[in-house]
Chains A and B, each alone.
Chain A
Amino acid sequence: MPDIFQALLERFPERSRLLDIRSTNELYASVDREDLREAVRSLMAEHGARLVTVLAEDRLASEGVFYIYYVFDRLGDPCFLILRLAIPPGQAQFPSLAADLPAVNWQEREIQDWFGLEADGHPNPRRVALHDNWPDVHPLRKDFAIDQVLPLFEGEQHEYRPTLGEGVFQIPVGPVHAGIIEPGHFNFAVAGEPILYLQLRMFYTHKATEKLFEHLPIHRAVFLAESISGDSSFSHGTAFCQAIERAGDVEVPFRAKVIRTILLELERIYNHVADIGAIATDVGFVVANAHAGTLREKFAGLNETLTGNRLLRGMVSVGGVRRSWKVHQLEALQNTVDLAERDFRELVALINSSDSTRDRLERTGFLHPDKAKALGIVGVGGRASGIDRDVRRDHPYSAYDRLSFRVPVQEGGDVLSRLQVRVDEVKESIAMIRALQAHMPDGPHCAPAQEIPAGRCALSAVEGWRGEIIHWVRTAPGNRLERCKIKDPSVNNWPALVEAVQGNIIADFPVINKSFNLSYSGTDR
């Protein structure tokens, strides 16, 4: 990364400088408002960088400005590059990148809603994170009290874009859905059966998560991190703890790293198995789902044996993990993985043997690799459309640097490809768990508790089973946080769903949606 930094600094010698922010895996540089668009363009077009996320923080009290951070990475370089833009309060605007970079569309609008900073030149600057009936408040500003009582919800005021034409009609769905899933609103425009256009409205489950991080001591905040997205408790918990460890120079013992890695892979497996079954159900192959459900139960039971909780909660902590494993727990791990691998092979064979299932999945919900790239799609959704990215390999953490593994990538971009990526990933995960448990190191499972210094910034990335999870923190005195930004992979990937459903019949929407299986709570926070 230093080389492209050099190029950037040479390009804007007067107005851009390296910032003296200590960090272990990222570099910070300031950039001027006038140069932002050109700097981003040059980083991406000339140096192959990818915009990972955009985040803001309110530093009015101490520095008299708001900051917006643009986080980049580049294949083959474990370091992150972060551009920082200062926004004085009198000029509460920042240049929008959304017209050229659809990936930041929602993230910029989030900053508008939560910080009251205007994204100048945004092609669709309407509210996204605060619904239309909210008063003019900006909750992530420091002068906004978290327990402020806002007037009650009066009714829907959101106007969807009209979709016009003979025989075109709109189908509103949600926020309370027909299945046992999270709330969100989908507005389909259909002509007969095919979907012409899908409009999403999210943030129904917004529960002040990022603000709440600023109000909890770190040891309690770990549990909040586990509740960002219920099926990714361990990944989000690890991402959070890792950010704190980097901020406070906490050295995680190797045994803890290995335990974390095994649990991260178990989380991937239990979710992928459930999704494989759910995809089969959504095209009518319920027998496969029955087997998948049984298999998932085995993993839930294993999770409980290893962590005391079926969803792996209450295990990760700053400095390592809360409990070590005894011999019988390691035996349970080995036995369950051995049995489950056989069951999994049979499940995959069952699905592959069904031509009608394959027929429904092939070319359904197609996401073109070029589109996926333009939208900045991550994780399973990206890898099924040819995007060869995986945090475990690209920015190794926990024990991943000790493992050799393959990152499965498919070019097909359809539901079948997303299914295949999951199948291949489960196989890789099983191999990783075997390799780790065969050489389970001894030693402590957690670093001794220590005071986390105030005013430190740190970025942490974890490849959750859905994709890239980012946590960025700034610490405060007394083992607290000044700011915690969370980016769930779902934030990147909702636009992929909008793209992939177009032209498909509405009856295939559930299976296309399932093939991405995005988190509403992770998006809405």
Chain B
Amino acid sequence: MFKILEKTFRTGIVTASYPQEPARVSEHFRGRPAFDFAKWHDARPAAEICPTGAITVDDEGGQQQVAVDYGRCIFCGQCAEVSMDGAVTITQEFKMATRDRRDLVLTSYSIPNRAGQQGVGDSLRTRIHDVLGRSLAIRQVDAGSCNGCELEINALNNPVHDIERFGIHFVASPRHADMLLVTGPVTRNMELALRKTYDATPKPKVVVAVGACGISGGIFGVNYATRGGVDQVIPVDVFIPGCPPRPEALLHGILLAVDRLA
């Protein structure tokens, strides 16, 4: 008993002060690749090497139309390595969670205005905030992942990330949950279980899709055994890119989903 206490006192507080202070991130961490489309003379090598097809190039009349989908990106950094013109740089940025799947797609050309859709989300957010207040119960559902995302979600419970300091905790049943934190790709064999879990979660509920596979199917994509991203099966409120998203990125996405970001 005394040994346990002694060890505990000696260890002291290890909890990180994120998000009040910036996360402690290694300079080697591969976060969001940033693209300078004006500088990018040839995007084809990057499109060719990208393991998940997150970069697509449409060569129209000598003009390259490039699209980058962060929802497919696994942050391998190869696009920066093969783009000699310095148009792609790997940043340490990880706060990429968003409510709108389309925010994750960058293009070198303009896409039609989509103003006017934000209002629906706003009212839902207010309602969730009214009902749930400041506590949040999360049910995690692995709908087919490789277990990488689960490792990082588990890390949210360790003393360093300590998600319970936000009044957020993981619960054992969807019936106790306000939020489903779903990893993918959604396999054919998990589709029914995911639907049932969603139906069993009381309203109002929030669904967060985690990782490249949860957003788009990632490297697995859509095939005879998978349905792709979580939003192919149930409605998704927030998308958290990463492969896997680091715990701080998960925390950012979860807080975004319940509108608790400062």
Residue contact B147 to A519, C-beta cutoff 8 Å: yes
Indicate whether A350 sits within 8 Å of B150 (C-beta atoms), given known contacts A175-B190, A329-B28.
no
Least CB separation from A519: chain B residue: B147
Q: Which residues of A contact B29 (CB under 8 A)?
A: 304, 308-309
Q: A149-B224, A176-B197, A227-B219 are in contact. Are A205 and B157 (CB under 8 A)?
A: no
* Complex partner residue of B4 from A147, A308, A313, A350, CB under 8 angstroms: A350
A58 to chain B, nearest CB (A): 16
Is B146 touching A227 in the complex (CB atoms < 8 A)?
Answer: yes
B193 near A204 (CB under 8 angstroms)? yes
Least CB separation from B160: chain A residue? A297
Interface flag for B11 (CB, 8 Å): yes
Is the pair A229, B147 in contact by a Cβ cutoff of 8 Å? yes
Binds A, one of B63-71, B101-109, B137-145, B252-260: B137-145
A156 proximity list for chain B (CB < 8 A): 192
Do the beta carbons of B219 and A224 come within 8 Å of each other?
yes
**CB–CB B189/A521 < 8 A:** no
Contact A229 to B190, CB < 8 A, known contacts A207-B220, A211-B223: no
Taking CB atoms, residues of chain B closer than 8 Å to A329 are 28
The complex places the Cα of A90 from the Cα of B66 at a distance, in Å, of 50
| B75 close to A314 (CB less than 8 A) | yes
Question: A179 to chain B: which residues have CB within 8 Å?
Answer: 172
Q: Are B188 and A223 interface neighbours, CB within 8 A?
A: no
Contact A293–B159 (Cβ < 8 Å): yes
In the assembled complex, A150 has its CB within 8 A of some CB on chain B? yes
Partner of B147, one of A155, A182, A207, A350: A182
Is A514 close to B, CB under 8 A?
no
User: When each residue 208-233 of chain A gets 1 if its CB lies under 8 Å from chain B and 0 otherwise, what string results?
Assistant: 11011000100110111001111101
B150: chain A residues within 8 A (beta carbon) = 180-182, 230
- Is there contact, CB below 8 Å, between A208 and B225? yes
Q: CB within 8 A of A212: which of B158, B159, B223, B243?
A: B223
Cβ-defined contact, B148 with A183, below 8 A: no
Contacts known (A183-B190, A227-B148, A521-B145); A208 close to B74, Cβ less than 8 A: no
Are A223 and B74 CB-contacts (below 8 A) given A182-B142, A204-B144? yes
CA of A137 to CA of B223 in the docked complex: distance in angstroms? 14
Residues of A within 8 A of B209 (CB): none
In the complex, A28 has a CB within 8 A of chain B? no
Does A290 sit within 8 A of B, measured CB to CB?
yes
B153 at the interface (CB under 8 A from A): yes
Instruction: Indicate whether B76 reaches chain A with its CB closer than 8 angstroms.
Output: yes
Which chain B residue has the least Cβ–Cβ distance from A227? B146
C-alpha gap A282/B3 in the complex (Å): 21
Cβ A350 vs Cβ B220 within 8 A:
no
Partner among B25, B76, B151, B188 whose Cβ is within 8 Å of the Cβ of A311: B151
Q: Tell me which residues across on chain A come within 8 A of B244, comparing CB atoms.
A: 230, 311
Residue B155, interface by CB 8 Å: yes
**By the criterion CB–CB under 8 Å, are B28 and A180 in contact?**
no
Are A183 and B142 touching (Cβ within 8 A)?
yes
Q: Give the CA-CA distance A222 to B192 in the complex, in Å.
A: 31
Q: How far is the CA of A274 from the CA of B154 in the complex (A)?
A: 10
> In the bound complex, how far is the Cα of B153 from the Cα of A293, in angstroms?
12
Partner of B219 from the list A144, A223, A290 (CB cut-off 8 Å) is: A223
Given A146-B224, A182-B142, A212-B220, residue A290 in contact with residue B159 (CB < 8 A): yes
Given the known inter-chain contacts A206-B189, A208-B220, please indicate yes or no for A300 contacting B155, CB distance below 8 A. Answer: yes
Q: What band does the interface of chain A fall in when counting residues whose beta carbon is under 8 Å from B?
A: 35 or more
Which B residues, 40 to 78, have Cβ-Cβ distances below 8 Å to chain A? 49, 51-52, 74-77
Does B26 count as interface, using CB distance less than 8 angstroms? yes
Judge whether A139 is part of the interface by a CB distance below 8 angstroms: yes
A327 within 8 A of B: no
Interface string of A291-316 (1 = CB under 8 A from B): 10110110011001111111101100
Complex alpha-carbon distance, A329 and B26, angstroms: 10
The answer to whether the Cβ of A80 comes within 8 Å of any Cβ in the partner chain is no
A301–B26 touching, CB < 8 Å:
yes
- Residue A178 CB within 8 A of the other chain: yes
Is the pair B147, A219 in contact by a Cβ cutoff of 8 Å? no
CA distance A222 to B52 in the complex (A): 11
- A521 to B174, Cβ gap below 8 A? no
Q: Do B49 and A219 have beta carbons less than 8 Å apart?
A: yes
Shortest CB-to-CB span from A221 to chain B, Å, is 8
Q: Contact: B147 with A231, CB < 8 Å?
A: yes
Residues of A within 8 A of B161 (CB): 297
Asked whether, in the complex, the Cβ of A180 is within 8 Å of the Cβ of B153, the reply is: yes
**Quick check: A227 and B193 within 8 Å, CB to CB?**
no
B239 on interface, CB distance cutoff 8 Å? no
Contact B28 A206 (CB under 8 A): no
Contacts of B188 in A (CB 8 A): 150, 153, 206
Contacts of B243 in A (CB 8 A): 313
User: Which residue, A131, A180, A208, A293, has most C-beta atoms of chain B within 10 A?
Assistant: A180
Asked whether A521 lies within 8 Å of B153 as measured between CB atoms, the reply is no
Which residue in B148, B155, B187, B213 is a CB contact (below 8 Å) of A206? Answer: B187
CA distance A297 to B158 in the complex (A): 8
State the Cβ distance, A349 to closest chain B Cβ, in Å. 8
The yes or no answer to A188 lying at the interface (CB within 8 A) is: no
Minimum CB–CB distance for B143 against chain A, Å = 8
Query: With a CB–CB cut-off of 8 A, which chain A residues contact B3?
Result: 349-350, 353
Q: Mark A75-97, 1 if CB is under 8 A from B, else 0.
A: 00000000000000000000000
Q: Known contacts A149-B224, A178-B172: does B145 contact A205 (CB below 8 Å)?
A: yes
Verify B142–A205 contact, CB threshold 8 A. Answer: yes
Asked whether A147 lies within 8 Å of B224 as measured between CB atoms, the reply is yes
Known: A231-B151, A291-B7, A293-B155. A176 touches B26 (CB 8 A): no
Q: Which residues of B contact A149 (CB under 8 A)?
A: 224
How far does the Cβ of A90 sit from chain B's closest Cβ, in whole Å? 26
For B170, the closest partner residue in chain A by CB is A180
The verdict on A207 contacting B185 (CB below 8 Å), with A180-B154, A223-B219 known, is yes
User: Do A294 and B145 touch across chains, with their CB atoms under 8 A apart?
Assistant: no
Distance A297 CA – B157 CA, assembled complex (angstroms): 11
Q: Mark B86-124, 1 if CB is under 8 A from A, else 0.
A: 000000000000000000000000000000000000000
Q: How far, in whole Å, are A301 and B220 apart by their CA atoms in the complex? A: 27
B187 close to A310 (CB less than 8 A): no
Give me 14 A-to-B residue pairs in the complex whose CB atoms sit less than 8 angstroms apart, sorted by A's number.
A139-B225, A180-B140, A180-B142, A205-B187, A206-B187, A223-B219, A228-B146, A290-B159, A301-B26, A309-B75, A349-B3, A350-B4, A353-B4, A519-B147
**A206-B187, A313-B243 provided; 12 other pairs, C-beta below 8 A?**
A180-B157, A183-B142, A219-B51, A228-B146, A229-B147, A230-B147, A291-B7, A297-B158, A304-B26, A305-B26, A311-B148, A314-B77
Q: Closest 5 A-B residue pairs measured CB to CB?
A: A230-B148, A293-B158, A178-B172, A230-B147, A223-B51
